[in-house]
Amino acid sequence: MQKTTASLKPAEVEKKWIVVDAKDAVVGRLATFIAMRLRGKHRPDYTPHVDCGDFVVVINADKVKFTGKKLDDKVYYRHTGHPGGIKETTPRKVLEGRFPERVLNKAVERMLPKESPLARKQLTHLLVYADAEHPHQAQNPEVIDFAARNVKNTRSA
């Protein structure tokens, strides 16, 4: 029996690659799952100050779903930096726009710690693609069936 807590060292970390299909997945539930995998909190040897998370590849990010009326009622704000420069948009506009993967990317980013160099590094391990193709087959990623984990994870309408 050890009397000390085992602390993971950066050289001891073995990172896995996982693929998650976001088709018909609820954005918030999917983002929490991805954030946990990126931080490494699913591991029994999780260490807060070490990057022990996995690489996460998300496909079909343009087919995510929102519950209720969030698709039109939820508002994303940003500021240009100039006086009176507040801009707003809805998830529907973003999903129908040029970069639909930004909805999921921002949801995960906002679930990671703020102003942390480690969190910024962990966010670079998230690779989001709007369609079903991804260029990471050489890493032999493990496919995780997010929809089958819980009935509430997907929406059909």
Tell me the percentage of the chain whose pLDDT exceeds 90.
91
Distance separating alpha carbons of residues 77 and 97, to the nearest angstrom: 16
Residue-wise pLDDT for 120-147, tens only, equals: 999 999 999 999 999 999 999 999 999 9
Which pLDDT score, from 0 to 100, does residue 7 have? 87
Q: Is 35 exposed, middle or buried (0-12, 13-18, 19+ CB in 10 A)?
A: buried
Distance separating alpha carbons of residues 22 and 63, to the nearest angstrom: 7
Residue-wise pLDDT for 15-52, tens only, equals: 999 999 999 999 999 999 999 999 999 999 999 999 99
pLDDT-based confidence at residue 3 (cuts at 50, 70, 90): confident
∠ Cα 62 114 126 (to 5°): 35
Which pLDDT score, from 0 to 100, does residue 156 have? 79
Contact yes or no for 61/101 (Cβ under 8 A): yes
- Global pTM reads 0.92
Which pLDDT score, from 0 to 100, does residue 157 have? 66
